[in-house]
Amino acid sequence: MKNIPFKTFWVTEESDGSFKNQIIQRSTDDLTQNGVLVKVAYSSLNYKDALSATGNKGVTRHYPHTPGIDAAGTIVESNSDKFQPGDQVIITGYDLGMNTMGGFGEYINVPAEWVVPLPDSLSLKESMVLGTAGFTAALSIHHLLRCNQKPADGPLLVTGASGGVGSISVAIASKLGFDVTASSGKADQHEYLRILGAKTIISRTEVDDLSGRMLLRPQWAAAIDTVGGNTLSTILKSLKTHGNAASCGNVASPLLNTSVFPFILNGVNLLGVNSATTPLPLRLKLWQNLANKWKPDFQNINTQIVALNEIQLSIEKILKGEITGRVILEHNHNL
């Protein structure tokens, strides 16, 4: 075992119940020895990381803790013959950054079963521009496709479109030939959404029906919803017959108020998306898709690179819904 000192973002629970964070030095020996030690080059900021960083016990039960559900880097030590020191790898989801010390530290130690080899046609940095957000977008699209969704069926709605999952969903779905409608609360991001491939852009208030009606005018053949709450309720009422909605987020609310009419009169499908628990064979297949035929044009994705000492500002912004695109943490940034 190597005893390597490293820097990490460290969240502590104070005696008054508040949560604080600072950057401290730890040693790789302090990490739970799960089998594979990885030197993290890049992580990324997801909404869940912001929850973990601010004491959300639904995400992280025990503190002190290092968030970061995404990591890309190089293997230093491995107890598995599948991986050798020097291999470049991606780790997203499972328990990383939740109750296992995550990618906001310069080293992680994870089980070999969580590790995905970096596909040939992706760089470490590109893999984190995608990260859990890109993987969740790919998984959402996978669920729509397994329900036989086709571009000819009609428009595909993406909500929270300027965010991480939303941006990459717009980019991939339009690359696959779907007529994408992007719903956004940010009037100044319409040009960005068009560049990503959205044909139509609507305000998020247009997917927030307050009429109390059980069904609405059918508008979309499919949807990828990152918002939840009344937005998802509105989507279900507005899907075309046999439409499909992939539910992957809850930035507005985890609650869902619906009737059975969208299901029993219009035959719509509500598809659950959980990136963290995706089995390895599907995980490997989706990363290959992301690296090849579904690969978005990275130049179009609004990407901000930050250093460890800058991540706190981005955490505050993502909690206020102010992030556009992706925030990437580069561990040797500014050195």
Ligand X SMILES: NC(=O)c1ccc[n+]([C@@H]2O[C@H](COP(=O)([O-])OP(=O)(O)OC[C@H]3O[C@@H](n4cnc5c(N)ncnc54)[C@H](OP(=O)(O)O)[C@@H]3O)[C@@H](O)[C@H]2O)c1
Contact positions toward ligand X, by CB under 6 A? Answer: 46-48, 132-133, 136, 160-166, 184-186, 204, 226-227, 248-252, 273-276, 318, 321, 323
Q: In the bound complex, what is the minimum distance in angstroms from residue 40's beta carbon to ligand X?
A: 19
* CB nearer to ligand X: pick between 6 and 47: 47
Minimum CB distance to ligand X smaller for 153 or for 225: 225
CB of 249: closest distance to ligand X in angstroms? Answer: 3
Query: What whole-number distance in Å separates Cα of residue 256 and Cα of residue 233?
Result: 6
The nearer residue to ligand X, 89 or 301, going by C-beta atoms, is 301
To ligand X, the closest distance from the beta carbon of 164 in angstroms equals 3
Which position's Cβ is nearest ligand X?
163
The pair of structure tokens assigned to 32 is: 């739970």
Distance, in Å, from the CA atom of 101 to the CA atom of 112, rounded to the nearest integer, reads: 15
What is the C-alpha separation between 247 and 224, in angstroms, rounded? 6
Beta carbon of residue 147, minimum distance to ligand X (angstroms, whole number): 17
Task: Output 31 or 67, the one with its CB closest to ligand X.
Answer: 67
* 52 three-class SS: helix
Q: What is the dihedral of CA 278, 88, 326, 143, to 10 degrees?
A: -20
131, HSE (Cβ side, Cα atoms, 13 Å):
32
Q: What whole-number distance in Å separates Cα of residue 190 and Cα of residue 196? A: 10
Compute the least distance from the CB of residue 224 to ligand X, in Å.
10
Q: Closer to ligand X by CB, 7 or 194: give it.
A: 194
CA distance 92 to 70: 5
